[in-house]
Amino acid sequence: MTYIIEALERFKEQVKILDEKSKRIIEEKIQLIKENPFRFKKIHSEKYSRVFRIRLKIKNQETRLIYVVLQPKIILVCLLERKKDYKDLEKYLNKI
């Protein structure tokens, strides 16, 4: 199945301020998502049943790329810092 990748404004803003190495890492992960969006770990959400995360290390910080699969779309939600422990996740998911 062919998926359409969309990104929320929050995600676009977060990626825009990153360095080239970090952007390249994220682009590689997005390619993996296109191939099989269900390969990464599923996380619990009150609103959506198909929310996934990818572990990244950006600028020596544990970061998570959060995305939602709403077939045929894959929506890139945000980059979360691991230390914030997903507290703001539902707020970002409400913007879908």
If you average pLDDT over residues 60-75, what whole number do you get?
93
The whole-number pLDDT of residue 96 equals 83
If you average pLDDT over residues 39-65, what whole number do you get?
92
Identity of residue 44: H
If you average pLDDT over residues 4-31, what whole number do you get?
95
Q: Which of 32, 21, 17 is nearest to 67 (CA)?
A: 32
CATH code given to domain 4-93: 3.30.2310.20
In this predicted structure, the answer to whether residue 85 has a pLDDT above a threshold of 80 is no
8 Å CB contact between 4 and 74: yes
Question: Residue 33, Cβ neighbours under 10 Å: how many?
Answer: 21
The pTM is what? 0.91
In this predicted structure, the answer to whether residue 86 has a pLDDT above a threshold of 90 is no
DSSP string, the chain: ---EEEE-HHHHHHHHTS-HHHHHHHHHHHHHHHH-TTSSEEE--SS-S-EEEEEEEETTEEEEEEEEEETTEEEEEEEEEGGGTTTTHHHHHTT-
Percent of the chain clearing pLDDT 70 (strictly above): 97
Domain boundaries, the chain: 4-93
